[in-house]
Amino acid sequence: MKDLKVKWQRLISDGETCPRCGGTEEELKKMNLQWKNLKRILCNLI
Q: In the chain, where do the E strands start and end?
A: 12-13, 16-17
- Answer yes or no: is 8 within a domain: no
* 15, part of any domain: no
Residue 33: domain span: 22-46
Tell me, yes or no, whether 11 lies in a domain. no
| Domain contains 36 | yes
Specify the higher pLDDT residue, 46 or 25.
Answer: 25
In a domain, 42, yes or no: yes
Q: Is residue 44 one of the residues assigned to a domain?
A: yes
Is residue 25 within 8 Å of 10, Cβ to Cβ?
Answer: yes
pLDDT at 37: 93
Q: What does the pLDDT look like over 11-37, one tens digit per residue? A: 888 888 888 888 998 999 999 999 899
Number of domains composing the chain: 1
d(CA 2, CA 9): 23
pTM, rounded to two decimals:
0.66
- pLDDT number for residue 5: 84
Instruction: Examine residue 17 and state whether it is found in any structural domain, yes or no.
Output: no
